[in-house]
Amino acid sequence: METTHQAEQQRASAESRRRELLEAADRVVLRDGPKASMNAIAAEAGITKPILYRHFGDKGGLYRALAQRHTDALLAALRAALDAPAGRRERVEATLETYLVAIEARPQVYRFLMHPAEESAGGEQPGFDVGRHSAPLLRRMGEELGVVIAERIDLGPGSEALARVWGHGIVGMMHAAGDWWLGERPCSRAELVSGLADLLWGRLAAAADRVGGPGF
């Protein structure tokens, strides 16, 4: 029994230390964005780089841990927006707004997760590319949103498959539009939210019907 207790204590201590290291990594990412290096993160945490590798393996392992940390928080916020006591259109707009507010509030974190630098400060080679690591993050968000849609909307026969299609489609739209908006700021956040909500609400099809053509 004592051995089990000791093992639980060691596990709890390791989890606490891992959280501390992730918080240190977050501080460096907020400062340096995609150029955040393992050297800088180790220095921020007050440890050597080999100890950091012991916890995460390499920069890819640290990236995945940070991605899960931030994705968990974002998904919780998106679910709360979808469950808000409001009309369906208002909830859609609140969900889009929640995503855009999140990437606008912490742009350096967003860029670290979605646009890792090809080479980190000091010439450190991170050994991973954007698509290989950001794609699973977006895929997880798409699957999670598909589950939420299936739980809240009866889409009839084939509901689960259609909800997954919509989940991935909406996440892809939010990501592409948000990435473009964050980089260029061509309009206000409110205008982007309204425009994307219009698209989801069928305005594209309605516009095509009004002019009597195929729309494309």
pLDDT at 98: 94
Which H/E stretch holds residue 154? Answer: none
Where do the domains of the chain lie?
A: 2-211
Identify the pLDDT of residue 133: 59
Cβ atoms < 10 Å from Cβ of 10 = 10
Residue indicated by tokens 């409001």: 86
Which pLDDT does position 203 carry in this prediction?
61
What is the full per-residue pLDDT of the chain (216 aa) written as tens digits?
557 877 777 788 778 888 999 999 999 998 988 888 889 999 999 999 998 888 888 888 888 888 888 888 888 898 888 888 888 889 889 999 999 999 999 999 888 888 766 444 444 544 444 455 567 778 888 998 888 888 877 778 888 898 899 999 999 999 999 999 999 999 999 999 999 999 988 765 665 555 554 443
Domain made up of 2-211: CATH architecture: Orthogonal Bundle (1.10)
Q: What is residue 176's predicted lDDT score, i.e. its pLDDT? A: 95
CA–CA distances in Å: residue 20 to residues 36, 52, 99, 118? 17, 11, 26, 26
> What are the angstrom distances between the C-alpha of 75 and each of 29, 137, 138, 200?
20, 11, 11, 19
Dist. CA 181–CA 123, nearest whole Å: 30
| Cα–Cα distance measured from residue 14 to residue 10, given in angstroms and rounded to the nearest whole number | 6
Rounded Cα distance between 124 and 129, Å, is: 14
Alpha-carbon distances, residue 197 vs 55, 61, 105, 124 (angstroms): 42, 36, 21, 42
